[in-house]
């Protein structure tokens, strides 16, 4: 797909701008890393008679999903249950940082690789990874960024800092990526963990670093609605699968459906199934104090273009001329009937990662017929499972913190 001739992709249905009605009988021309043209089939074939046709019957072409808030290392905590404190630990949970001291670069790399594999298989083409470790080791963010770029994933990457050491790690990664100006796949951000005890002036110190580096800033909180700042511009990311730390969602009441184009969706590391994330977002909009139920078409926009804009990626999230050729082909072998009018609703109701047939990022095929290319899937899965088991063993062997002596000093 990288020669002067292009490829004409003809799905059964085509989503050019998420939220708008899908097109039937239309296709798009892919040339290099971008979409070159969009239009009716007959028009494209007439304009580009030498292009190779690619028919995708019973499939819909959509911009790839953007997981705008995740924690890839959370994979290690899935299934780890403490009998004394039921429930899995997760990034942001006070237990997580106590347990994370037993991580090392090999365990983190295994978790990131396995998570990248499953994200890609699920149709996620871009993500925001917020690393939560108590003491970052040198080169941590660079190693994670290289692993994600190796899978072709676009990413916004930052360390959840609680002190100046964390800011130093973020600053070093930002400087590295700025030196690689031609590599736009992985970008850095400045993130702070506001659920931890911080010096009152620390968030502003982090904002100042973000402004100097012209990078996004995120103050990570226990809310399900996170805020990303790009200078004076503020975008938000809704994480409906985040464990309920507050009991209710007062922050969700401030969301308005017309903001779908600038608000992203995030899995929070709880699942690689972005259809599940979208369904959960719609369910929350139905039962929380919101102006009205979020329509499926608006949620699809949040899961694609809205997330890309929240993360600061330009010309990503639509399939229009000049935009990045990051797309998924989703099979329409669903239980219910499919029409252009009900497509979004049916995909949210019945869709799953198993329906993702093909994934392209920058015009390069990464998943074909449901198989992640150039990857030994069995080895990747096994390595991730073994890393989670090893982490659990280390946690189990760790000595209990000693209780203070109740006897007062004489």
pLDDT for 56-84, tens place per residue? 999 999 999 999 999 999 999 887 766 56
Rounded mean pLDDT of 133-146?
91
The mean pLDDT value for 273-299 works out to: 81
Element (H, E) at 100: helix 94-100
Q: What percent of the chain clears pLDDT 70, i.e. is strictly above it? A: 86
Helices assigned H by DSSP within 252-376? 274-287, 296-301, 307-311, 343-350
Nearest to 159, CA basis, from 169, 174, 146, 151? 169
> What are the sequence ranges of the domains in the chain?
1-63+317-375, 65-315
Interior/surface letters 94-116, b for 16+ CB within 10 angstroms, e for the rest: ebbbebbebbeeebbbbbbbbbb
Measuring CA to CA, how many Å separate 392 from each of 82, 84, 132, 258, 271?
10, 15, 17, 44, 20
Closest CA to 223 of 187, 251, 182: 251
Of the two residues 195 and 169, the one the predictor is more confident about is: 169
| Angstrom distance (rounded) from CA 156 to CA 130 | 8
pLDDT in tens, 7-45: 999 999 999 999 999 999 999 999 999 999 999 999 999
Q: Could you tell me whether strands 371-372 and 26-31 are parallel, antiparallel, or unpaired per DSSP bridges? A: unpaired
Q: Is 85 exposed, middle or buried (0-12, 13-18, 19+ CB in 10 A)?
A: exposed
- Class assignment of domain 65-315? alpha beta
Distance CA(396)–CA(83), nearest Å, equals: 11
| Between residues 116 and 5, the one the model is more confident about | 116
Q: In degrees rounded to 5, what are phi and psi of residue 65?
A: -75, 150
Q: Are strands 26-31 and 34-40 parallel, antiparallel or unpaired?
A: antiparallel
Kindly indicate whether the domain formed by 1-63+317-375 is annotated with CATH number 2.30.40.10: yes
- Number of neighbouring beta carbons within 10 Å of residue 211: 14
pLDDT on residue 64:
98
pTM for this prediction: 0.92
What kind and span of H or E run contains 28? Answer: strand 26-31
Confidence check: pLDDT of 182 > 60:
no
Q: What is the mean pLDDT of residues 121-130?
A: 97
Confidence bin at 1 (pLDDT 50/70/90): very low
**Rounded-to-integer distance, Cα 75 and Cα 220, Å:** 19
């Amino acid at each position: 797909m990288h020669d002067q001739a292009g490829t004409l992709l003809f799905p059964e249905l085509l989503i050019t701008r998420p939220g708008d009605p899908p097109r039937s009988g239309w296709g798009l021309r892919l040339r290099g890393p971008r979409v070159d043209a969009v239009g009716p089939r007959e028009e494209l074939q007439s304009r580009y008679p030498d292009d190779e046709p690619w028919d995708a019957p019973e499939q819909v072409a959509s911009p790839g999903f953007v997981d705008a808030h995740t924690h890839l290392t959370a994979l290690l905590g899935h299934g780890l249950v403490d009998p004394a404190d039921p429930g899995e630990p997760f990034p942001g949970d006070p237990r997580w940082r106590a347990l994370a001291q037993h991580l090392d670069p090999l365990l983190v790399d295994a978790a990131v690789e396995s998570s990248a594999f499953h994200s890609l298989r699920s149709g996620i083409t871009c993500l925001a990874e917020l690393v939560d470790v108590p003491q970052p080791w040198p080169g941590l963010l660079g190693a994670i960024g290289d692993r994600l770029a190796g899978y072709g994933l676009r990413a916004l990457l930052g360390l959840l800092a609680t002190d100046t050491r964390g800011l130093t790690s973020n600053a070093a990664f930002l400087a590295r990526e700025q030196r690689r100006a031609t590599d736009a796949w992985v970008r850095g951000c400045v993130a702070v963990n506001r659920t931890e005890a911080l010096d009152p002036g620390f968030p502003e110190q982090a904002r100042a670093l973000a402004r100097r580096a012209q990078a996004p800033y995120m103050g990570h909180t226990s809310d399900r609605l996170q805020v990303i700042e790009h200078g004076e511009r503020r975008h938000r990311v809704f994480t409906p699968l985040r464990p309920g730390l507050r009991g209710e969602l007062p922050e969700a009441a401030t969301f308005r459906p017309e903001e779908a184009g600038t608000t992203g969706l995030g899995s929070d590391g709880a699942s690689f199934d972005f259809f599940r994330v979208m369904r959960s977002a719609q369910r929350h909009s139905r039962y929380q104090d919101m102006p009205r139920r979020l329509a499926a078409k608006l949620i699809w926009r949040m899961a694609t273009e809205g997330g890309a804009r929240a993360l600061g990626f330009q010309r990503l999230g639509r399939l229009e001329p000049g935009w990045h050729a990051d797309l998924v082909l989703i099979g329409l072998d669903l239980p219910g009937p499919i029409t252009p009018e009900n497509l979004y609703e049916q995909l949210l109701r019945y869709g799953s990662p198993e329906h993702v047939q093909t994934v392209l990022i920058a015009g390069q095929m990464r998943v074909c017929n449901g198989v992640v290319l150039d990857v030994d899937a069995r080895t990747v899965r096994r390595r991730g499972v073994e890393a989670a088991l090893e982490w659990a063993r280390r946690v189990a062997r760790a000595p209990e913190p000693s209780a203070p002596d109740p006897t007062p000093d004489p």
